[in-house]
Amino acid sequence: MDNRPVGLRPGIAGTALRYAALAVAALLFLLPFYLIVRNGLSTEADITSPEWSLFPSSLHWENIGELFTDPSVPMAHALWNSLVIAVLQTGGQLLLGSLCGYGLARIPYQHANKIFYLVVATLMVPAAVTFVPSFVLVSSLGWVSSLRGLVIPGLFVGFTAFMFRQYFLSFPRELEEAARIDGLGYWGTYWRIVVPNSGGFFAAVAVIQFIGSWNSFLWPLVIGQDEDSWTVQVAMSTFLTAQNVNIHELFVAAAVGILPLVLVFVILQRFLVRGVAETGIKG
């Protein structure tokens, strides 16, 4: 809220100007989303027409069904792959990252600090830079074009463990001490006390990881070398540069791909904003 003294608040003209600027910016930010939907419901001819128009000449809802039945554009399968990968990766990261973070934050062990540095050191090396060495490793394991190759290397993200450690450090100790007096061990305390009381944090991390996993491109592009292992991002990219593809189907796929994320975004907006602001992480 604006608690500044009256004299330091913008006047009516300033406020009006501010809203006008924000409204113009908002329209520009929403335009690409509108174009995705517009193109998805248009015909090929409408999209590539030399006459640009804001509205399609007619709406073609049957495009949605076409996306899932057209055998020449395996988008339905790619969407399924993306879903499986994103779910497995999000679940796996939450489990492994929270366990490691809890151990580092709460179990006194003489080498804990050294191991913490080992985790933090990986934050210094940007993930995108390691794709060449990671590809070399994964291909010598024979995991190219497989679900294992797409999911497993992405489970061990130093940043997730780091975030969970920081979060657990600020978890109220009294709750855990009560559990210890009741005879629970480390596992019991973690599983029955800490996890159920950390729903908000787990949810924020889950949403951010899910979006990141769903939208990731470089690694799936490198590993998904045959059509069966394409994710929706790789499939769209492949058709983006190819000739003779139904452009409207491409946009239907884009709309189907971002609709769930947009819904999650709108519903969990406050949550997400707080999560991002607190941790400074990127989706």
Partner 1 sequence: MTRRAGAFWLFVGPFLIGLLIFNYIPIGWSAYLSFFDAQGTVTPDTFVGLRNYADMLTGPFAQSLLTFSVFALFIVPLTFALALGLAVAVNRIRFARAFFRSVFFLPTACSYVVAAMVWKLSLFSGVRFGLANTVLDWFGQDPVAWLSNPDPPWYWVVLVTARLWLQVGFYMILFIAGLQRIPDSLYEAAYVDGAKPGWQVFRHITFPQLRPTSIAVLLLSLIAAYQAFDEFYNLLGTARGYPDFGRPPLVYLYYLALGQTQDYGHGSAGALLLALLIALVTLLQGRLLGLGRREA
Q: Shortest gap between Cβ of 94 and partner 1 (angstroms)?
A: 12
Distance CA(210)–CA(214), nearest Å, equals 6
Q: Shortest gap between Cβ of 248 and partner 1 (angstroms)?
A: 10
- DSSP 8-state class, residue 125: S
- Measured at the CA of 207, the angle between CA 202 and CA 213, to 5 degrees, comes to 120
Q: Shortest gap between Cβ of 178 and partner 1 (angstroms)?
A: 19
What residue type is 138 in one-letter code?
A: V
- For partner 1, give the closer residue by CB, 54 or 181: 54
- For partner 1, give the closer residue by CB, 84 or 122: 122
Q: Shortest gap between Cβ of 253 and partner 1 (angstroms)?
A: 9
Distance CA(212)–CA(234), nearest Å, equals 14
Q: Shortest gap between Cβ of 41 and partner 1 (angstroms)?
A: 13
- Spatial contact of 163 and 275, defined as CB atoms under 8 Å apart: no
Q: Shortest gap between Cβ of 168 and partner 1 (angstroms)?
A: 11
- For partner 1, give the closer residue by CB, 68 or 188: 188
Q: At what angle are helices 75-106 and 199-215 packed, to 10 degrees? A: 140
- For partner 1, give the closer residue by CB, 69 or 110: 110
Distance CA(114)–CA(98), nearest Å, equals 18
Torsion of CA 198, 191, 174, 180, to 10 degrees: 180
- For partner 1, give the closer residue by CB, 76 or 279: 279
CA distances from 144 to 63, 137, 148, 221 (A): 33, 10, 8, 11
Nearest to 36 by CA among 267, 233, 258: 258
- For partner 1, give the closer residue by CB, 181 or 277: 277
